[in-house]
Amino acid sequence: MPHILAIESSCDETAASVCCDGIILSNIIYSQEIHKQYGGVVPELASRAHLHAIVPVVDEALQKANVGLGEIDAFAFTQSPGLIGSLLVGAEFTKSLSLACNKPLIAVHHMQAHVMANLIQTPEDKNSIPSFPFLCLTVSGGHTQIVLCDGFLKMKVIGQTLDDAAGEAFDKSARILGLPYSGGPFIDKYAAEGNPEKYKFPEPKIPGLNFSFSGLKTSILYFIRDEKQKNENFVEENIADICASIQLRIVSILLNKLKKAADETGIKNICIAGGVSANSGLRKAFEELGTAEGWRTYIPRFEYCTDNAAMIAVTGYHKYLAGVFEELSVVPCARAPF
Ligand code: KG4
Ligand code: ZN
């Protein structure tokens, strides 16, 4: 019954989790508030905030799991991708624990872990998990990928964004509308009250399974600029319809490519993951498409969609079983393929 302690610190969440035999016992997330006033994550401030938060967050994860440090069998951390200063805090802290406790060290790829969030089980909720092979649409603030998953650690990216990520498309659109950072959840909230057919934004024609969101962002920018010249209160008066129309287009870009990937591979086990999978419009449209296409659909529980350490713990557990360990000389890396 191996216990894994995992630490996630790739961006602006300091998170720790303990799992036993792959079952999550605790999942503690501290979201750094300091960045809100700057309208985006400030890397230097993120590193400092991780330094302040990491000891209490890890302590709470152990306490909640009712597991002592001496009972941990291996220590896992997010190695890549992310902000290098943020990654360094988690990596060096985890290495120190591994050295002090004389237990193995496991490096985890953050995007692989987002996919693995679909395989998370908790003691109270042993939900059904997808069987292999499955496809996963991973949509976060930094990445948009379609991943073909053949086994626990056997993953291949078969489509990805050529420019902005889906989360960036939400956040940059929100910024154009004057909404606070991070804007995705605000667009989601306003969209619930709006008419998604009111304004038509273009769908890019990108070959294969790749995505592009930069053209959409530019068309929103020009549309809002032109409408504000005619009526300076245009955004305030139409915020719900604008948000619903933007959300509809981002969701249709994502799901049209996911359907293409499912058609081409013949795979019917389909998952979504990453922060944007918290979006209610995407979740609803995904379930509807799944029903129409005869897919078995999977979405991680909300707290496992945005950045968290439970997904690092469960990936770490499968690396532990496979005996994939690192030397203390291992270093984090801002960008790396998996
Ligand atoms: O996976 P994540 O927590 O962090 C990264 O690894 O990037 O994803 C964060 C992204 C942000 O762009 C945020 O705006 C977006 O997920 N997001 C949402 C929603 N909740 C989070 N986007 C749209 N609707 C939401 N409800
Ligand atoms: Zn993430």
Q: What is the DSSP string of 126-193?
A: ----PPSSEEEEEE-SS-EEEEEEEETTEEEEEEEBSSS-HHHHHHHHHHHTTPPSS-HHHHHHHHTT
Query: Could you tell me which residues are beta bridge partners of residue 270?
Result: 135, 297
Confidence of residue 126 (pLDDT cuts 50, 70, 90): low
Query: Using CA atoms, how far apart are residues 28 and 5, in angstroms rounded to an integer?
Result: 12
| Nearest ligand for residue 111 CA | 2
**In this structure, is residue 329 part of a structural domain?**
no
Q: What's the structural domain count of the chain?
A: 2
Query: Same domain for 139 and 212?
Result: yes
Q: Which helix (H) or strand (E) holds 107?
A: strand 105-109
What average pLDDT does the segment 265-277 reach?
Answer: 96
- The CB density around residue 263, as the number of other CB atoms within 10 Å, is 10
Query: Same domain for 235 and 180?
Result: yes
What average pLDDT does the segment 167-183 reach?
Answer: 94
**In this structure, is residue 89 part of a structural domain?**
yes
**In this structure, is residue 227 part of a structural domain?**
yes
Query: Same domain for 173 and 269?
Result: yes
**In this structure, is residue 275 part of a structural domain?**
yes
Confidence of residue 125 (pLDDT cuts 50, 70, 90): low
Q: Which helix (H) or strand (E) holds 291?
A: helix 280-293
Question: Cβ < 6 Å from ligand 1: which residues?
Answer: 11, 140-142, 167, 170-171, 182-185, 188, 274-276, 278-279, 306-307
**In this structure, is residue 95 part of a structural domain?**
yes
**In this structure, is residue 17 part of a structural domain?**
yes
Q: Residue 8 Cα, ligand 2 centroid: separation in angstroms?
A: 10
Query: Could you tell me which residues are beta bridge partners of residue 326?
Result: 105
Query: Same domain for 90 and 222?
Result: no
Residue located nearest, by CA, to atom 13 of ligand 1: 184
In 3D space, the residue among 306, 261, 258 whose CA is nearest the CA of residue 286 turns out to be 258
Query: Same domain for 159 and 286?
Result: yes
pLDDT at 127: 61
Query: Same domain for 37 and 141?
Result: no
Lowest-confidence region among 69-78, 123-132, 149-158, 252-261: 123-132
Query: Same domain for 106 and 235?
Result: no
**In this structure, is residue 69 part of a structural domain?**
yes
Q: Residue 201 Cα, ligand 2 centroid: separation in angstroms?
A: 27
What average pLDDT does the segment 325-338 reach?
Answer: 93
pTM of the model: 0.93
Query: Same domain for 138 and 112?
Result: no
Q: Residue 79 Cα, ligand 2 centroid: separation in angstroms?
A: 12
Atom of ligand 1 nearest to the CA of 305: 1
pLDDT at 168: 95
In 3D space, the residue among 70, 53, 68, 63 whose CA is nearest the CA of residue 7 turns out to be 53
Query: Same domain for 177 and 158?
Result: yes
Confidence of residue 265 (pLDDT cuts 50, 70, 90): very high
Best mutation site among 80, 138, 182, 312 for ligand 1 pocket (most ligand atoms within 8 Å of CB): 182
CATH code: domain of residue 231: 3.30.420.40
Query: Using CA atoms, how far apart are residues 267 and 254, in angstroms rounded to an integer?
Result: 17
Query: Same domain for 286 and 149?
Result: yes
What domain range includes position 79?
Answer: 3-126+304-322
pLDDT digits (tens, 9 = 90+) for 64-118: 999 999 999 999 999 999 999 999 999 999 999 999 999 999 999 999 999 999 9
Query: Same domain for 243 and 316?
Result: no
**In this structure, is residue 330 part of a structural domain?**
no
Confidence of residue 255 (pLDDT cuts 50, 70, 90): very high
Query: Same domain for 169 and 242?
Result: yes
pLDDT digits (tens, 9 = 90+) for 188-206: 999 999 999 999 999 999 9
